[in-house]
Structure formats: C-alpha cells, structure tokens
Amino acid sequence: MIPLSVLDLSVVTTGIRPAAALRNSIDLARHVDALGYARYWLAEHHNLASVASPAPDIMIGQIAAVTKNIRVGSGGVMLPNHAPLVVAERFKMLEALFPGRIDLGLGRAPGTDGATAYALRSRLDRREGDDFLERLHELTLWETRDFPPNHPFNNVIAMPDDTPLPPIWLLGSSDYSSELAAQVGMGFAFAHHFASYDAVLITARASSRRAGAPARTAFSLLPWSPPKPTPRPSGSRPRWTSTDCSATAGNIARCRVSRRRWPIPIPRASAPRSRATARGCLSAVPQP
C-alpha cells in the first residue's frame, strides 16, 4: 500500500466558519489516523479568508493529543516570520510531549501578503533581504550548541534541553530547497499543488545529491563582505548576525569565527538558482 498523508489548511467555505474549520481538522485527523495514514501536516497562512489556521504548532499539539499513531507536523512553519529560538522551543516541547511523532517542516515564504508580513515581523530585530539561511543555521545551532566562543547565545538554553528537535523538512516548489535539503541532510517536501516544476526531476536530483553522486550544479567563488553596520542607540549591546564564508566546492573556506564549517548552498546572483549554488558556511559574528 502506498503511504498516504494529509496537508490540511483548515479550509473555510461559505458553509463552514473558521472555528468550525479548526474542529473539522481535528475530526479529520482522528479519521485518517484510524485508517492508517502516515502523516498529518498543518500549514501556516495569514490574512486569508479561506484558511483558518495561522499557527501550525498549536494545531499540531491539539491533533497529536487526539491521535495515536500518525505523525503530525508543520507544512510548514514559515521561518522568516519567527525567531529561531521560538521555533526550537515550541517544537522541542511538542517532541517531548509526543516523542517520535512530530515533524518540523520549514518554508521560506511569508505565507501572506506584504502588509501582513510586515505586521508579523515589525517588532522583531530587523534583518534585510532573504535571511532564511541565517535563520535555518541559527535554528540548528540551538540544537547543537555550537555557537562560537563568547557568543551571547551560549548562555541561553532552548528548553526542554533533554529533548531533541524533531526531524526537519525543507519545503519548496523549485529545486533550490531540494538541493539545500540534500546538502545539509534534511528532508524535502515538494509543493506539487502549486509548483510549476517537475516533481520527479526535482526529487531525483535531490536524491542523487544525498547519495553522493557527482554534483551537476555549477560552483563558483563568491566574495565575502562584512555586514553593513546598523545605527543603534548609544550604549546598547552589540547585535550578532550570521554571515557567509564562501568558496569553491573543493576548497571550503574556514569561517572567520566559527570552528564548524556548514555545507550550505548560497544562490549566485549572476545565474539561475537551478544551476548556481556554492558551498559555503555560516558563522555568527558581532555586528558593530
């Protein structure tokens, strides 16, 4: 039997109001759990009249509590909307309560329109541009505790500290996330319901990368530049930011601060993402 799973948005219709849609999700999860389905994932969307659930972590806990065998996860948490420490804490809690049944799926998109995305992030420490790699790296560091010496996060513990993060999946509708997942050893979930790419080609390429087959991706040397200073109040503590240390595939540069080298692909601006990544590493350095 082919394993079957559910991606649930808690859909709102003309006959089903948002509160009822959330309760329907719980009923559906009970039903497919009894049928032997493999996974039940909840999405994160904001300011959409047709989607009732903006908080998959809350729904995961509710559904895991009323099911017995099915894995429950996020499809996914939109990482740019959340501090990595918050994601780590919440999913470590879920894993502690429901060991071996939780999946942490992560997305790069905001899951909403521009104004709502700004409202979600306006009170957070602002970072410019696409900082998904930076946030993903920080999220994994809350698990490995491999922050550089003297980093302020060394004094912060993501609780519960006796529970690991659940398996991490990267979500994507193109080959960017699939190649990233293959290089860092994470799961990959393809958004077939709205993607314009060939799912078979994407997953096959990611599988070959993970299996150690010769890479078909162009690698190139990328210049490193220090982060631009951001004005801050006089006397405030320095902020820390992740930067990339990039090099060719055969000669990965050592990070300026971190002793650990992370094989994370970085998009190359001068070529399409599908054929341009470079091995590199991310390290935390103080920002003046």
Q: Is the pTM of this model over 0.85?
A: no
Tell me how crowded residue 198 is: count the other CB atoms within 10 A of its CB. 13
- Tally the C-alpha atoms within 13 A of residue 28's C-alpha that lie toward its C-beta: 19
Amino acid, single-letter form, for residue 254: R
Tell me how crowded residue 57 is: count the other CB atoms within 10 A of its CB. 21
pLDDT for res 229: 44
For residues 83-96, one letter each, b for 16 or more C-beta atoms within 10 angstroms of the residue's C-beta and e for the rest, the string is ebbebbbbbbbbbe
Residue 65, C-beta contacts closer than 8 angstroms, at least 6 positions apart: 98
Find, among 12, 63, 13, the residue nearest to 40 by Cα. 63
Residue 14, C-beta contacts closer than 8 angstroms, at least 6 positions apart: none
Per the CB < 8 A criterion, the answer to whether 266 and 280 are in contact is yes
Question: Three-state SS for 72?
Answer: strand
For residues 259 and 254, what is the distance between their CA atoms, to the nearest angstrom? 7
Render each residue's pLDDT in the chain as its tens digit; 288 residues: 789 999 999 999 999 999 999 999 999 999 999 999 999 999 999 999 999 999 999 999 999 999 999 999 999 899 989 999 999 999 999 999 999 999 999 998 877 888 888 888 776 656 566 788 889 999 999 999 999 888 999 999 999 999 999 999 998 877 777 778 878 888 888 776 665 666 666 666 656 555 443 322 222 222 223 334 445 455 544 444 333 333 333 333 333 333 333 333 333 322 233 222 222 333 333 333
Q: H-type helices in the chain, by residue range?
A: 18-35, 56-66, 84-97, 114-121, 132-144, 175-184, 199-210
Identify the DSSP state of 81. Answer: G
For residues 240 and 132, what is the distance between their CA atoms, to the nearest angstrom? 16
The full set of domains in the chain, from first to last, is 5-172 (3.20.20.30), 217-288 (no CATH)
Burial (0-12, 13-18, 19+ Cβ within 10 Å), 16: middle
Per the CB < 8 A criterion, the answer to whether 187 and 210 are in contact is no
Phi, psi of 8 (to 5 degrees): -115, 130
